[in-house]
Amino acid sequence: MSYRTRKVNRRCIRVFRVLAIVLGFWFAIHIAHRDCARMADKPLKHIALQYVGENPALSAARTEDFEATAYCVTGISRSGTLIKPGHVAADPKVIPLGSMIYVDSPLMGGFYQVLDTGDLVKGKIIDIFIPSYEKCVEFGRRAVKVQVLRYGFLGHVPDNKSDE
């Protein structure tokens, strides 16, 4: 084997190694993204039901009256995540960021996570993200019942205090 053929073979091996490394990273990222996307597409209902099932104190969480509106502005939420269905904006003094809530309403009832705040969301008002502008207008402003299942990201159990 001559010097030139060894040099060509080494060059081919280097190119092959680089391609293998790049393809390996691409597949790893693709698989990880696919698994994360699958988790993100799961409705929060299943996650919240599992959490409530593990913690009997949450099943007795107090239901409170709130006003609900809808918004369709996309972007980055206050918590740093992309806004998508299943997210709610709330006053952090009333319901902290990261809280899991159940909204009892015939039109947009279900489990939501508080990941955003708003300039006009003060007091007992929540703002539900709906991607369609027409459905936001149709939703309007309505009275809903909200049950806080978990306060904040750390999962503190809500206190069942009597109304003061």
The answer to whether residues 150 and 157 touch, using CB atoms and an 8 Å cutoff, is yes
What is the DSSP track for 2-70?
A: -HHHHHHHHHHHHHHHHHHHHHHHHHHHHHHHHHHHHHHHS-HHHHHHHHHHH-HHHHTPPEEEEEEEE
Q: So what's the pLDDT on residue 156? A: 64
Q: So what's the pLDDT on residue 126? A: 92
Beta carbons within 8 Å of 91's beta carbon, 6+ residues apart? 117, 121, 122, 123, 124, 125
Q: What is the pTM of this model?
A: 0.59
- Of residues 30 and 116, more confidently modeled: 116
Using the structure block, give the residue that is written with the tokens 């269905």. 85
Structural domains for the chain = 61-150 (2.40.40.10)
pLDDT digits (tens, 9 = 90+) for 112-144: 999 888 888 888 999 999 888 888 888 889 999
Rg of the chain over Cα atoms, rounded to whole angstroms, equals 24
pLDDT digits (tens, 9 = 90+) for 51-80: 554 544 445 567 889 999 988 888 888 888
Which residues are registered as beta bridge partners of 114?
88
The whole-angstrom separation of Cα 164 and Cα 161 is: 8
> Is the pLDDT assigned to residue 40 strictly greater than 70?
no
Mean pLDDT of the chain: 77
Among candidates 95, 92, 97, 89, which has minimal Cα distance to 73?
89
Q: What type of residue is 9?
A: N
Using the structure block, give the residue that is written with the tokens 């696919």. 34
